[in-house]
Amino acid sequence: MNLKQLEYFVRVAELGSFSKAALILNIAQPALSRQVRLLETDLRIALLQRTGRGVVLTEAGKRLFDHSIGILQLMSRVREDIENTRGEPAGRIVVGLPPSMGRLLTLPLVEGFRRSLPKARLAIVEGLSTHLGEWISTGRVDVGLLHNPESQAALELTPVLDEPLGLVSPAEKLGGKRAGKKVGPRGTVTLAQLARFPLILPERSHAIRKLLETQAALAGHKLDVTLEISSVQSILELVRAGHGHAILTPTALAASGQPEAFVLRPLTEPRLTSTLCLAVSAHKPLTPLTRHVLRMLRELILAAAQGVPSPPARAHNKTR
């Protein structure tokens, strides 16, 4: 067993296909298959089950996959740590963003990263906060932005931004037929009033959905959830078409690219907020590269929340 075989095995498992993995790895498919077979022979157990549509992990393969991710991440950190002793941060870092923040931050983050960290490599993945927390815990993501995360021993959380939650409606339809008593565009919506609005919300595992339903239950109200949609962009398209109302933060609405098409009214009684946190593993030391990216993300988030152009990336202070 060697690191190259583990890297090949992980890539095949992630893509579910030898042919796709061979293209990504820039290696001939027969050579890739031979390396994985050698790994299976060395361990004396089948790791991948071949199907008509590709390959899937066996139970043994799933266990090796989890170990392999940790081993490869550890080797990457070792290489990065050694490279960092030469001065400028280098290596590869994986940043996880919720979809709404991804639309807002990806471009300025990539541009700032390339300007200030030319020797480093950046990868960005998107996912719900619950998924991002798991990926950080297992080492697949180095830094993540999480909405309203629950305290976990495996994560170190730093609150960055508290944003009010608001009811999002089409600009031309304030209230709608099922909204009950209409509320002005500059007004607010109480939790009791919210129960009369047809809502389009993410699935139950989503942080904002859990917050809303918990508060509604405590107040003795039941929300009228007419549609469950995970994509913020799809939710807004449905809201604009008149299928219901959404619950979002100002930055999530700004990320849609068409905030003028909607009206956002803050939720009150109680006032509900969404907390955005920076998250890293509690079991890994912070590298210079990770610290630099954490500073960049904090600056970009605060700039986006203030509605001003993103600030340039802070110059790196070289250390030895």
Residue range 201-235, pLDDT digits in tens: 988 878 788 888 888 888 888 899 999 988 888 99
- Is the pLDDT at 157 greater than 80? The verdict is yes
Does this model's pTM top 0.85? no
DSSP state of 47: -
CA-wise closest residue to 149 among 170, 126, 128, 176: 128
CA distance linking residue 127 with residue 133, whole number of Å? 10
Residue 49 is which amino acid? Q
Q: Whole-angstrom Cα distance, residue 33 to residue 43? A: 15
Domains of the chain with CATH codes: 3-68 (1.10.10.10), 89-161+275-306 (3.40.190.10), 166-271 (3.40.190.10)
The CA-atom distances, in angstroms, between 91 and each of 42, 79, 283 are 31, 7, 19
Strand 120-126 relative to strand 198-201, pairing: unpaired
d(CA 297, CA 291): 10
DSSP string over 214-262: HHHHHTT---EEEEE---HHHHHHHHHTTS-BEEE-HHHHHTTS-GGGE
* Distances in whole angstroms, Cα of residue 76 to Cα of each of 67, 73, 256, 301: 14, 5, 36, 28
* Residue 292 scores a pLDDT above 50: yes
Confidence label for 177 from pLDDT (cuts 50, 70 and 90): very low
pLDDT exceeds cutoff 70 at 186:
no
